Chains A and B, each alone.
Chain A
Amino acid sequence: MRDVGPWGTQSDMIEVQNLTKWYGSVLAVDNLSFHVDKDTVVGLLGPNGAGKTTAMRMLTCYLPPTSGTARIAGYDVLVDSMAIRRRVGYMPESAPLYGEMRVRELLMFRAALRDIPRRRRRAAVDRVAEACWLSRPEDVMRRRVGELSRGYRQRTGLAEALLHDPPVLILDEPTTGLDPAQIRAMRELIRQLGQEHTVILSSHILAEVEQTCDQIIILAGGRVAAAGPTQELRRRVIGPSHVIVEAAGQPCEQMVKTLQQHPAVRSVQAQSLGEWTRLEIQGDGGDDLPVRIYDLARQNNWQLRELRRRVASLEDYFVQITYQQSLGPDRGLDREARR
């Protein structure tokens, strides 16, 4: 690769600043900024209409941004379109392909368009066929694309994006329409690719992004609602810890009073179940809340039949965002974005 440009380091593979896209009077992407390091897998997560596809289309030079800049490997999407196209492998949503062509024929055609020298095309096609499990049942490569199942078509699309061995891969909803086994295989493949490629993938399914990506960018209404490394994001988004306890040994009111006096407890909700009391305790964010509660129970001679951390998930947060987006462009979202 050539020089990276005057501003950045090699590790900044993708740099997006204040990227904005208007479709007529509709704002699709609103002041989007993020950057992606080399050889990481980033998930663009968002409900439908959050601007994921538009953002990807701007990164792949299919659509120009209305304002803002995007750079890939130091090249600007507006100025160095061809340089970027040579370095990016892109699989658009639902992998559109020429149905009348045979898989090998299609890949050979794409290889020619990708400037792969004639004598190396066959090797390049065999390589991606191997990587995307297209070579295993021998006849797949000879079948017409239009006759393939959805899963094979998706893999052909991915193979197409990998032909020129690009440093950056942009995959728009790579797993939609696949069956569970295929989804698992696709995830595995993306994780493998992430070791040597910078990958951006989009999805509206959280579990998927959580499992494959090193970093997550949650988009809503064209903006970044939350972003960060997957683990950190989960911690930050979930917020203070919740513990659920079922205890006996003292009357309900007294338990609540005792708990509320404890410094690690922020709030308590109690529900009497006859002899037992069910307590929902919110802590101040520390990880050791269950331990504190256990100590407290021992000191007060409470009997415990349940003590567990309620695992709030990113899912809850994500559903919340999706719900807020459906309320309208501005209500609620602002608050989330500032958090």
Chain B
Amino acid sequence: MRKALVLARRELAAMFFSPIAYVIGAMFLLASGLWFFHAIFIPGQEASLRPLLEAMAYIMVFAAPLLTMRLLSEELRSGTLETLMTAPVSDAAVVLGKFLGVLAFYLALLAATGVFLGLMAAYGRPDAGVAATGYLGMVLLGAAFLSVGLFASSLTPHQLVAALVAMAILATFSVLMPALVASGIEPADRVAARLSVMAYFGDFARGMLDTRGVVFFLSVSGLFLFLSVKSLESRRWR
């Protein structure tokens, strides 16, 4: 665990050095800012971040894979993974370190959107409880999405491929599943309703703290972190 933190610190430092992280961060903030001023920051509008948070969740389908794509792919490509995996560090610590590093960067991004909340509080009276559950939802969703991205990154030395694979997985659960629910095909729609990321996230955005959502996001994170460790391990056996 201590080594995971050492790795996480290096990862975070590398993110702040990489232009890609800044570009993605800027685009994330730009897109959410535009959304904020067009859909929410209008006189007479309800003082709620809900539409913004739902938009941010969709932006994350693209932003998370771009943030995570280099995590392991770059190490595979440059060969630095070899020095990491011959140091006395377990594969789980490597995966956890990478995950915590990128999660910290994501939390910093999320903190920056707090400006919108501040602006809203200055001109209206947003519900603190709703804002809190909304942000809790964003943190949980981010953790799940980033672990999917990390897994995709463990599969290939090509960053672009890693990003596309992650986007495909995330789009399946956030775009395809809601579409399947809407289609009303039995029994696929009922299965899809349980797998739809946006349905769970919607509850948080509405201010509802549902344990089903918490469990869903945490288990997705856990599953994909576990798969990343296994994927890394399997590199030795291939």
Chain A positions within 8 Å of B, measured between CB atoms, are: 57, 60-64, 82, 85-86, 88, 90, 92-94, 96-101, 109-110, 112-115, 160
| B237 contacts across to A, CB distance below 8 A | 64
* B14 x A88 contact (CB < 8 A): no
Is the CB–CB distance between A160 and B83 below 8 Å?
A: yes
Among A62, A96, A114, point to the contact of B88 (Cβ < 8 A): A114
Contacts of A160 in B (CB 8 A): 83
Contact A62 B85 (CB under 8 A): yes
**Interface residue from B7, B10, B236 paired with A62 (Cβ < 8 Å):** B236
B51 to chain A, nearest CB (A): 38
Q: What's the A-B contact tally at a CB cutoff of 8 Å?
A: 60
A97→B14 CA distance, assembly (Å): 13
A326 to chain B, nearest CB (A): 26
Interface string of B64-99 (1 = CB under 8 A from A): 000000000000001110111111111000000000
Interface size class of chain B, counting residues whose CB lies under 8 Å from the partner chain: 20 to 34
* A74–chain B nearest beta-carbon distance, Å: 17
A-B contact pairs, 20 of them (CB 8 A): A60-B86, A62-B85, A62-B86, A82-B90, A88-B86, A90-B82, A90-B83, A90-B86, A94-B79, A97-B80, A97-B83, A98-B14, A100-B18, A109-B6, A109-B10, A110-B87, A113-B3, A113-B87, A114-B87, A160-B83
CA distance A98 to B13 in the complex (A): 11
B123 at the interface (CB under 8 A from A): no
How far is the CB of A331 from the nearest CB of chain B, in Å? 30
For residues 172 through 213 of chain B, which have their beta carbon under 8 Å from a beta carbon of chain A?
none
- B83 CB contact (under 8 Å) in A61, A82, A96: A96
A96 touches B10 (CB 8 A): no
Additional A-B contacts beyond A85-B87, A92-B83, A110-B87 (14; CB < 8 A):
A57-B82, A60-B86, A62-B236, A90-B86, A92-B86, A94-B79, A96-B79, A96-B82, A97-B80, A100-B17, A101-B13, A109-B10, A113-B7, A113-B88
